[in-house]
Amino acid sequence: MKTFFFFILTLSILISACSNSSQDHQNSNAPNNPLDSTQYKSIKTTKEYSTNPDGSAKESQISATVFYSDKEIKIVFQGDSTWTFEVKEKTEKKEGITFVLNDKKFKELFISSGSLPLITLTTHTETSNITLM
């Protein structure tokens, strides 16, 4: 009887250990999805306003989704391309969130607070800025 109990106990420990290692293995082989909703917040946009160097603005209809976290921002344009930015610094205020970017063209991205947030990409020269909404 003791041998049978010891066998059942050993078998259950072995099954439990294999079960946990299987879960760890599945998690490590899961595709690295940078757009995972647990890591990123997202905003869908349908319009783009581009500021021209002369100060005029151009409106375009687009379909883009902005994914942002404390470390990275991705702007995914439907069927076109993806822009990825590394975040150097993040500041949250009542007006919205400002991300200081590590990028050659854009110095910061601002997401306004509210039910219809505006997303503004500011260039280093502060001309040719882009606003998504």
Contact 45/130 with Cβ under 8 angstroms? no
Residue linked to tokens 């500021």: 51
Task: For CA atoms 92, 98, 100, 103, give the dihedral sign.
Answer: positive
Is domain 41-132 classified as CATH 3.30.1150? no
Q: How far is CA 62 from CA 45, 51, 79, in A?
A: 7, 16, 10
List all residues 6 or more positions away from 50 whose beta carbon is below 8 Å from its beta carbon: 57, 58, 60, 128, 129, 130
Question: How many other CB atoms sit within 10 Å of the CB of residue 39?
Answer: 14
Predicted TM-score of the model (pTM): 0.69
> What pLDDT score was predicted for residue 79?
82
Query: What is the SS3 string spanning 14-78?
Result: HHHHHHHHHHHHHHHHCCCCCCCCCCCEEEEEEEEEEECCCCCEEEEEEEEEEEECCCEEEEEEC
> What pLDDT score was predicted for residue 8?
55
pLDDT in tens, the chain (133 residues): 555 544 454 545 545 544 443 333 333 333 345 455 448 999 999 999 999 888 899 999 999 999 999 999 999 999 879 999 999 999 999 999 999 999 999 999 999 998 889 999 999 988 889 999 9
Look at residue 12 and give its three-state secondary structure.
Answer: helix
**Domain ranges across the chain:** 41-132
3-state helix, strand, coil in the chain (%, to 5): 20, 45, 30
> What pLDDT score was predicted for residue 127?
83
Task: For CA atoms 32, 33, 37, 42, give the dihedral sign.
Answer: positive
> What pLDDT score was predicted for residue 128?
86
